[in-house]
Structure 1
Amino acid sequence: MENKKNILPILKINNLKKSFGDNHVLNGFSIELFEGENLVLMGKSGSGKSVMIKCLVGLMQPDSGTIEIMGKDITTLSQKEFNNLRTEIGFLFQGSALYDSMTVRENLEFPLRKQKRELETIEKLVHNALISVGLVDAIDLMPEELSGGMKRRIALARAVILKPKIIIYDEPTTGLDPITAKEIIQLMRNIQQTHKTSSLIITHDVDCARVISNRMILLIDGINYAEGTFNELSSSTDKKIQAFFKS
């Protein structure tokens, strides 16, 4: 990535704190995501990744700290303003989170209908989204008829259908076999290159991090403990950092 000193981040989390009683999950966590960047966030189970995501999407209020998306502090926005801002963010949830009672077509139409798009526009966007993940023929299938990899592809199509500026991936390769995981990672790279999206990728998958990341952050002890490229972090002699890269 180019020098970022004079570039404003598209997403900025500053000094985020969140505790549950005596359990201090986030202790001043900070990150910056820049335009067109794939930023990987790694942390052990229970390290606060899920709490951070919930704060980011407005499902949980932090105890203190700020979250700015495209220069707007989300804690100061009205619900309507925040809902409008959320259309600029795509989400690939862990487990895909497709609606079981809807066909693939209906799953993809859902976010578009909420935006009150015209029928002709909806049909075109759904078709193009399915082309981008190579599953046009699956348009009328139900989620139960899809393999795990197909579900993840459809979820990815739904995440990009509104052409968001930011995509948040929550464990995009979890539960997939190695071959399918590589296919999903390649799709993520294609999306970044085609749509120039900025991506925050939360993962435990070291291979995914190695292939997809422009930059990495390790969440340890509730803070941004370490930051750098995959090569920089994987060659560190710090034992806490080494623990992420040992096979």
Structure 2
Amino acid sequence: MGITDIFSRRATLARSVRLLSEFRYEQSDPARFYTALAEDTAAMVGDLWAGVDGGRAPVGRTVLDVGGGPGYFADAFTARGLHYIGVEPDPSEMHAAPSLDRSAGSFVRASGMALPFADDSVDICLSSNVAEHVRDPWRMGAEMLRVTRPGGLVVLSYTVWLGPFGGHEMGLTHYLGGARAAARYTRRHGRPPKNNYGSSLFAVSAADGLEWAASTGAALAAFPRYHPQWAWWMTEVPVLREFLVSNLVLVLRAP
């Protein structure tokens, strides 16, 4: 059984349409959007684990969520029988959803660049849409590998800069250049974007991630997170993947 065999059955066009329809609520109703994303992510991670563990679900395993924000993912993973630990460096992000019930899971304020966990201490290390927000994403990736037990999974998913969502709330203006897009957003809205190019948003390519994953010797799979399985071939095509993959998932197995 291949690692993506189980998840690929879930990666349908209907799922892609459903997630895309939820994306429009990211700014206006983040709880709705991130709850839907959390459910889908927990299902994806569970399927990937089952792909390397004989079809068994990761019940009782520990998942470390690097850049977990206020904890929208906690309930989804806890409901699937995992022990959830969220890591978030920004206190404003950590408390961005005061109405959120945080009774599920544990939460630590720390940087993904220097995770305060021992080597080989978690079964699954996840990072969802964080790599494009840090200056050295592959240092974070190395930390994720370090804290994952041998045989455990690292799942690192990020928004590709040249894809349609690379500019985040700046929309497609990022194709004008990151600095120009940020300046244009500031003029239009009277405030800088939350994801400001050069400080909290960086141009990370699909090629960057694939090259890093290959360099570790631990890479298992790479695929577009939100695409149906029949469109995964785009990941293999240089240049095209930068524009059409949108969000790349890198799956590694800790040595």
TM score, norm. by length of structure 2 = 0.40
By relative contact order (CA 8 Å, sep 6+), the higher-ranking structure is 1
Structure number with the higher strand fraction is: 1
Which structure has the larger Rg?
1
Task: Name the TM-score, length of structure 1 as normaliser.
Answer: 0.41
